[in-house]
Structure 1
Amino acid sequence: MTSSKPGADDGEQSLAAICVRALLDRHDVPRHKHSTLTAAVLGLSYSHAHRKVQKDSTWSLEELQRMAEFFGETLSQLVSQGDADAPRTAVLLAGSARVPCQVWLEPEPKPAQPGSLVAIGAGSEWVVMPAGDNPPAHAFGIRLLVLQGDAQTARRIAVLDDKRDTTDSLVDALAASGFEATPFYTAQDLADAVRARPFDGYLIDWIIGNDDSRALIAGIREGDPRCPIGLLTGEFDTGRAQANEVAEAVRRYKLMFFEKPLRLPIISAQLTQAFSPR
């Protein structure tokens, strides 16, 4: 993307910064916070991050990778924003249907007419949907859309646990069962992702850090009354989780419950059953 040597090509440096700014824009980071967030992600001073965002400081591939991963994207997806002619793999939302497709986008986001189809970057994928009355500023117009038949799209499951080994094991088990699982290690990261685009289902630890996940679960359930949510905990013996509070959450928010140590095949089976036609 850009050389780390003095005198690196200005066009390459500009493309790197343009791609990063597009990344920040499509994840609804306000322009005035671009440099602050970049500094936090990369561990840089504000002034150094500001120079990067404003194109006069070089970007390493490692830095671009960290920016992409922070928002759940791949490096290739971040870099592809500079290539308007490349097709994007996307999902067309049509009522309750999710249809795999490929889209060729306009070079820059621009206002769209209500009812027209637009593409919006959501985490690690693109979503195609009608623009609505107030389309988001980061929506791209579509030059060409190609549907990819009636293949089923894997259900997207968010997995939240601040113990990384537990989260990663769950993600691997769900992937082996045909789900598209995304790991999260903080409640805020998951809440931000849900605002961008809700998941089909969730597995959430009851205790995250020093707090329970009641408020996060309540917000998810308010937005989707029927999606499967599995509640996890192994803190009854430590006293950090109280059985009566967990039971109340299970009842109130219609949750599945899995006690640690987790039986991963059972979790996968329960999720599969939850998505089966009734």
Structure 2
Amino acid sequence: MVTETSSSESLAVAERVRELMSRHGIGKRQQTAELCRILDLSFSQGHRKLRGNSPWTLAQIRRVADAFDEPALQLFDAKNADSDDTEGTAHDAVFKLGSVEIPCMAWVGAALDAGSRPDFIAQKVNNHWLVTKHEGVLLQAAFDVHKIEIQPRRADMEKPVIAVVDDDQASADNLHDYLERTGFTAIAFYHLDAFLEALQTQVFDAVVIDWLFGAHTSAGAIRAVRESDNPDAPVFVLTGELTTGKASESEISQVIRDYNVACFEKPARLAILVADLSKRLLRT
């Protein structure tokens, strides 16, 4: 059973999803955010998926179609579409094995007779489908289960992607490693030009950036983030030069007002920074 798309199929599905959203009045710049809302993805993951760079599961395709009240078949490649009614109807469900509960997609068929002895059964519990292994005698209404789809979690693809931009390589690497240990994917950049180049082809869920890079500030790079595909990404400015006078307090204050950024003095207390980062990502 095919449970997710190949790279070529991902491109085709992504194109169909973009067309579907356009038909429903979702503008190009809003489509990634809308997909993230529907599938509960980070912005970077939604961005990759909408451009066909990340595989689509059958469950994800169905959720998108359901969100716009359209048939899922139009988003599938014909060879992967489940058009056989004898296989039942796909539903989001929970697969319960002992004390373990696993989110799944279950193809639920007809109601079972009292004497039936299937391998698995589906039951509606509090308006949600619960799939269990059938043991003993049916005591309440249950339905046949034709197949169960369980998708492995791809943790790295689901983690928010954070850009760390600092010309002090030791500081950048230290923050990079801390973010990786606390549940994020981090990418370190040691030069403004390298970060600006990456911003042309990649989106970030958040940016942590030093203020001074030699004789230059990061104001232009922060403006570029606000003009990127993810303009609402949380931005944190780090500086250790306010007390020395090398960093201008008025310039940093202006950037905070103009671009809605947070500012932390170096050396940053990483636990506090990450807590603030997590809170802001949950709001976006």
Task: Give the TM-score, by structure 1 length.
Answer: 0.50
Could you tell me the TM-score, scaled by structure 2's length?
Answer: 0.49
